[in-house]
């Protein structure tokens, strides 16, 4: 079988991991006062727990505990079930709306990066329950698990806010094929730009349009997925709205 995920060069792996360790360690130290402010805000608004812990699927299918500041009401998974947040989601608290708009709810994932569970750039780690569902519905979904999951990625920066799971997979696998240190740096810088200039939900308007179109074309091109069956009938029904 021809694989759509190219092997990572040893030098790139070392450089990327070194960058992850250095920047996540510095980020944890510098952001420590902010952790206290966020924790106090969450605690005063609707009590404990301050952190949201959930099993996520990482590289090679390994399950790890993903950390976030809690942005939804306590026990939301038990009350409503595991589901991605939507517009005007009743599960999201007032403090949570601010955290999500600024991506501050993701701050504890610096610890996941330092531990090696995640990287700064890569496919976003999915919930265990959703991975089981996607494996049954989306061809070759597990190819995305051949690289370490990330805090941000192509789908997060260049994808539409309402991108389908199938098209999100296209971006994830495109990153796996084209990953490089310079692409990682570009995605990190663009992620900071989106965070500090506007809501993540509006990110399709915050990055260069020409680059959006270029990555959209590459992510939906037949040439990008030879012999992988990823352009089956189900995968070609929709494309990123860029």
Task: Pick 88 or 110 by higher pLDDT.
Answer: 110
Decide if pLDDT at 145 tops 90. yes
Task: Pick 162 or 143 by higher pLDDT.
Answer: 143
Residue 193, token pair as written in the block: 């730009």
User: Alpha helix locations (H) across the chain?
Assistant: 10-30, 32-46, 76-80, 94-102, 109-115, 128-137, 154-158, 165-178, 181-197, 209-220
The proportion of the chain whose per-residue pLDDT surpasses 70, expressed as a percent, equals: 71
Query: Mean of the per-residue pLDDT values for the chain?
Result: 79
Task: Pick 138 or 202 by higher pLDDT.
Answer: 138
Count of Cβ atoms closer than 10 Å to residue 208 Cβ: 10
pLDDT one-digit tens code per residue, 8-58: 677 899 999 999 999 999 999 999 999 999 999 999 988 889 999 999 999
CA distance 146 to 36: 35
pLDDT one-digit tens code per residue, 188-240: 999 888 777 655 444 444 444 445 455 555 554 544 443 344 333 333 333 33
């Amino acid at each position: 079988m021809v694989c759509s995920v190219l092997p990572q060069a040893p030098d790139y792996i070392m450089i990327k991991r070194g960058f992850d360790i250095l920047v996540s360690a510095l980020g944890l130290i510098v952001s420590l006062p902010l952790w206290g402010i966020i924790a106090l805000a969450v605690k005063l608004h609707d009590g404990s727990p301050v952190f949201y812990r959930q099993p996520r699927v990482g590289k090679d299918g390994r399950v790890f505990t993903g950390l976030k500041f809690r942005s939804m009401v306590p026990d939301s998974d038990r009350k409503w079930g595991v589901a991605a947040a939507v517009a005007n989601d009743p599960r999201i608290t007032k403090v949570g709306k601010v955290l999500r708009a600024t991506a501050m709810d993701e701050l504890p994932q610096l610890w996941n990066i330092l531990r090696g569970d995640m990287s700064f750039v890569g496919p976003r780690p999915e919930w265990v329950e959703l991975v089981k569902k996607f494996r049954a519905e989306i061809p070759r979904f597990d190819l995305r698990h051949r690289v370490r999951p990330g805090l941000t990625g192509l789908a997060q920066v260049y994808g539409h806010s309402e991108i389908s799971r199938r098209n999100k997979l296209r971006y994830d696998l495109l990153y796996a094929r084209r990953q490089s240190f310079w692409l990682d740096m570009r995605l990190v810088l663009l992620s900071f730009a989106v965070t500090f200039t506007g809501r993540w939900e509006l990110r399709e308007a915050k990055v260069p349009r020409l680059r959006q179109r270029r990555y959209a074309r590459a992510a939906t091109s037949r040439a990008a997925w030879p012999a992988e069956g990823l352009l089956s009938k189900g995968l070609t029904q929709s494309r990123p709205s860029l």
